[in-house]
Structure 1
Amino acid sequence: MNLKEIEIFLQVAQTGSLTQAAHRLDMSPMSVSRRLAALEASLGVRLLHRTTRAVSLTPEGAEFTPYARTMLEAEQSARVLFSSGRQGAGGQLRVTAPSGLGQRILVPLIPTLLAENPDMKVDLQLSDEVVDIVAQGFDVAIRVAPLRDSNLIARKIADNPRVLCAAPAYLQRHGRPQRLADLASFACLRLSNVLQWSFADDGQTTGVSIDGRFSCSSVEGVRSLCKAGLGLAQLTHWDIREELRRGELVAIELQDVQPQALAVWALFPSHRYLPLRVGVFLDALAKAMG
């Protein structure tokens, strides 16, 4: 396979247009079309549906896309590896992460990461939605929720158990829950999409439904009101690590259940080839999280 043809294919797949891809590559649309046809002929499959108005991936094209990115990135990294004056990693690093963890942990890493790697660009997308990192072209996803069965490769970064917590002032006024059933008598602050709080009971996950007077779509909102003394919250260790250290929040242990063990995970499409920029980023993240 010709790497120029692979580059053309990825540009067309990204833009959904032969004309736009041709403009980016400083080529004519006819040349782009011919090179795509040559790539399809060499693979023996049709990669793109072409109409007069748009271009879209065939199922075979979607399956080929991550391999195409891997081949192109490997070639680019090999050039950087043996270039004179090389300093650090290069290329665009695309990362998706939960908003709370991203703001607290990832964003502070970026200035040093860019300073130490002048040829690197970073596209950080913060969202609490689970995205398809292969289809959307992300190099790595940072996730906290329990991992589902997947074809993605997972690397554990740090332990991140759930923590039941409250402000000292709230506990002074209302006391402290002792058992799981006691939570029904306390004001509970929850994330909008979390209808149950999860705990561990003899190695099994158990949950209790939460219907408090306040819910919020962001960790920041729940954490802020918890600090203000409006009720109990269940967040993860890295969401409230600094507040626990400063004494602004207190961890609460219940007698009949234990905190659910979670972790911060890095997910990426394949071990076949890991771009240098991904390794550099993961090493920086692991160091920051101790």
Structure 2
Amino acid sequence: MFVPDVQTFLAVASAGSLSAAARQLNVAPMQVSRRIAALEEDLGVRLFHRTTRSLTLTAEGEAFVPYARAMVDAEAGARAELSPSPGTASGVLRLTAPSGFGQSVVLPMLPGLLEGNPDLRIDLDLSDRQVDIVGQGLDLALRIAPLEDSELVARKIAPNPRLICASPEYLKRHGRPAASAELDQHRCIRLDSVGRWPLVVDGKLTRKRIEGYVTTTSVEAARALAVQGLGLAMLSYWDVFRQLADHSLVQVQLDDAAMEDLSVWAVIPSRRYVPNRVNIFLSALQKEISDLSKTCG
């Protein structure tokens, strides 16, 4: 059943004639007549008694009026729900983000986002595993990794290079490594998912095997252990930007190797019909990152 046909039926029932309904709908009378005929054929009943001088509802037409109004109201409500005004977000935003980035950047921005969008709800998965966003029905994934070829749509949010860091106390006790070979003589805090540290030597990406003094699955744990002086950690900038700013961690730069350049990526299932809540969230995230860069950069 085509909603415009139902809307035309209600207009004719209210106006009392095809020509008056046509003027109300700003269409030709013949189009009104065709829509009513299509609706009657679809329902299998006659909705109007027609004579050359009058048009009245049949019993079936009278019975159909409340259902027709409910259908039109439901369609209007759906459009209002799914197409909110450009400046606001509503509905449930389902997203996933890496745990470290989520804790450091995403969670602190949520109170302001929700206060400015009272009809918005958040369903947030903080996980370092790559989630199938299509299979899980997610609106958005934030990822910090070299992106594999995919049919998904990726948008770069901010640079996020890896870096080696340690507490000033650790460096005072154990010294600062100057070359990649010297990492073997240091205590290293290793993420279980990064068994080999990616280093760029002479413009080529190499992976150096690291024996972990402590190995953990958690970015937050690796950061906390580094702050406590237990060793060197390789993390990404947005995992440790606050600690670099307050000097509880210090960046360690090697003479013979650079760090791998990564970025924060926003990944969405498709460019078509992107929910307004996704665009508003990403705008808020980019503003948050810009503000943090000015404060802590």
What TM-score results when the alignment is normalised by the length of structure 2? 0.69
Contact 1:188 1:214 in 2 (8 A): yes
Counterparts of 1:245 and 1:107, CA distance in 2? 19
Counterparts of 1:289 and 1:82, CA distance in 2? 27
Counterparts of 1:122 and 1:208, CA distance in 2? 39
CA deviation profile, 1:153-205 (whole Å, cap 9, x unmatched): 11111110001011111111111111111100100001112101112223321
Counterparts of 1:112 and 1:77, CA distance in 2? 27
Aligned CA-pair RMSD = 2.2
Residue in structure 2 matched with residue 107 of structure 1 by the alignment: 107
The percent of aligned pairs where both chains have the same amino acid is: 48
Residue in structure 1 matched with residue 173 of structure 2 by the alignment: 173
1:146 shift after superposition? 1.1
Counterparts of 2:78 and 2:258, CA distance in 1? 46
- What is the letter of the counterpart of residue 141 of structure 2? A
1:231 shift after superposition? 0.7
Contact 1:87 1:117 in 2 (8 A): no
Residues 257, 2 of structure 1: CA spacing in aligned structure 2 closer, same or farther, 3 A cutoff?
farther
Q: How does 1:54-203 map to 2 (within 5 A)?
A: 78-80=79-81, 88-203=88-203
Counterparts of 1:236 and 1:160, CA distance in 2? 6
- What is the letter of the counterpart of residue 101 of structure 1? F
Gaps of 5+ in 2: 4-75, 291-297
CA deviation profile, 1:53-110 (whole Å, cap 9, x unmatched): xxxxxxxxxxxxxxxxxxxxxx978424877x99711111001011111111111111
Counterparts of 2:80 and 2:218, CA distance in 1? 42
Residue in structure 1 matched with residue 207 of structure 2 by the alignment: 207
Contact 1:155 1:265 in 2 (8 A): yes
Contact 1:89 1:280 in 2 (8 A): yes
Residue in structure 1 matched with residue 281 of structure 2 by the alignment: 281
Counterparts of 2:161 and 2:283, CA distance in 1? 21
> Secondary structure, in 3 states, of the residue corresponding to 2:248?
coil
Q: How does 1:11-22 map to 2 (within 5 A)?
A: none
Residue in structure 2 matched with residue 235 of structure 1 by the alignment: 235
Counterparts of 2:287 and 2:185, CA distance in 1? 41
Counterparts of 1:283 and 1:174, CA distance in 2? 43
> Secondary structure, in 3 states, of the residue corresponding to 1:229?
coil
Residues 129, 76 of structure 1: CA spacing in aligned structure 2 closer, same or farther, 3 A cutoff?
farther
- What is the letter of the counterpart of residue 226 of structure 2? C
> Secondary structure, in 3 states, of the residue corresponding to 2:108?
helix
Residue in structure 2 matched with residue 224 of structure 1 by the alignment: 224
- What is the letter of the counterpart of residue 168 of structure 2? P
Kindly report structure 1 stretches of 4+ aligned residues shifted beyond 3 Å. Answer: 75-78, 80-83
- What is the letter of the counterpart of residue 159 of structure 1? P
Counterparts of 1:248 and 1:2, CA distance in 2? 65
Counterparts of 2:252 and 2:274, CA distance in 1? 41
Counterparts of 1:265 and 1:187, CA distance in 2? 31
- What is the letter of the counterpart of residue 112 of structure 2? T
- What is the letter of the counterpart of residue 134 of structure 1? V
- What is the letter of the counterpart of residue 237 of structure 2? H
Contact 1:77 1:275 in 2 (8 A): no
Residue in structure 2 matched with residue 258 of structure 1 by the alignment: 258
> Secondary structure, in 3 states, of the residue corresponding to 1:289?
helix
- What is the letter of the counterpart of residue 80 of structure 2? R
- Which entry has the higher C-alpha Rg, 1 or 2? 2
CA deviation profile, 1:107-134 (whole Å, cap 9, x unmatched): 1111111111111111001111111000
- What is the letter of the counterpart of residue 212 of structure 1? G
Counterparts of 2:203 and 2:226, CA distance in 1? 28
Q: How does 1:13-52 map to 2 (within 5 A)?
A: none
Contact 2:83 2:276 in 1 (8 A): no
Counterparts of 1:240 and 1:284, CA distance in 2? 21
1:2 shift after superposition? 8.3
Tell me the number of residue pairs that the alignment of Structure 1 and Structure 2 aligns.
218
Residue in structure 2 matched with residue 68 of structure 1 by the alignment: none
Contact 2:86 2:276 in 1 (8 A): no
- What is the letter of the counterpart of residue 154 of structure 1? A
- What is the letter of the counterpart of residue 255 of structure 2? Q
